Amino acid sequence: MDLLVVEPLDPEVLDWLSMRHAVVYAPHLAHDPREFRAALGRVRGVVLPPSVAVDRAVLRAAPYLMTVGRLSAGAENLDLEACARAGVEVVRPATASANAEAEFAIGALLQMLRRVPVINAEGLAVGRELGGSVIGIVGMTPAARPLATLLDTFGARVIGYDPAVHAGDGLWDRWGVEPVPLRQLMEHSDGVCVLLSYYSRYHGLLGSRYLSECKPNQVLVSLAPSGLFDEQALAHGLATRRMAAAWFDSMEPGTLDPGRPLHNIDALQITPRVASTTRESRIRSAWAVAQRMDEILQARATEADFTSTTPGALAGLEDDPASA
């Protein structure tokens, strides 16, 4: 077997792969870990949903594995370090969901600006328009470019911050975003879109230092991992109404449990990772992943029909002593 497909794929993509490789389509394996591992014996490539983990145990069960495909851009349940040690290339769509994420962010901003009114000088509760607003983008991910374009079309001023992109980088001009320090972005933005990729060094980056100084009645939409935020600072900003509303497209498990700072905060809206998921983005993602996996399998097939993962790589995948 060349390719095991556990993630549901568009029929055209599946047919295209089947014309080039020996494909087994078995989405039921996502719910049966034991049978899934048993099926990996001579598999060279596998397409998996985010619910199926790829860890050292899975890699040990798949000695011929060359590539793992994911239709989502996230790294949930992926041990990237173990894959790299085993010589397994992880294929994820880099830009396929950018437009979907940008449109979702626009929709969230519009809903919050209109549905969370502020009190004007006459004591009337009124909504606000996106046009003429200042919108800050935190994180210059692929979605930031179409988002900036859409915001400009609405007539918003777009400012941005990314700790990994220098203010003098030409990307800012190309994408139509004015670079500013994070504090300035928070102090001047009517709305903030957080797209920043998560790394441990960014944990709690958006804490009281910045959230306590945000522009009054600011709305915030985050498509990034909630670990970027300090829970207590976010809860305080929303509970005191300095921040009008926040919308997170993902939240770490347990964050809203009783006793946690964000429990019962009514100005907080959560959606279950739907920003990147549209029919169009899934088709783009499926084709991008399928074509790259085909390239990998075709290239290595010229070297040998089945090139086993090297013994040295497998040796690095044993369980930690603590888990033995």
List per-residue pLDDT tens for the chain, 324 residues long: 799 999 999 999 999 999 999 999 999 999 999 999 999 999 999 999 988 999 999 999 999 999 999 998 777 788 988 999 999 999 998 889 999 999 999 999 999 999 876 666 676 677 899 999 999 999 999 999 999 999 999 999 999 999 999 999 999 999 999 999 999 999 999 999 999 988 888 999 999 999 999 999 999 999 998 999 999 999 999 999 999 999 999 888 899 999 999 999 999 999 988 998 899 999 999 999 999 999 999 987 655 554 444 444 444 444 443 443
Residue 211, C-beta contacts closer than 8 angstroms, at least 6 positions apart = 186, 229, 230, 233, 234, 236, 237, 243
Out of 3.40.1350.10, 3.40.50.300, 3.40.50.720, 3.50.50.60, the CATH code matching 98-270 is 3.40.50.720
Q: What is the β-pairing status of strands 243-248 and 268-270?
A: parallel
- Say yes or no: do domains 3-94+280-323 and 98-270 share a fold: yes
pTM for this model (two decimals)? 0.79
Can you give the residue ranges of every domain in the chain? 3-94+280-323, 98-270
Mean pLDDT over all residues of the chain? Answer: 90
**Enclosing H/E stretch for 106:** helix 98-115
Out of 3.40.50.1370, 3.40.50.720, 3.40.50.300, 3.30.1330.40, the CATH code matching 3-94+280-323 is 3.40.50.720
The pLDDT value given to residue 308: 47
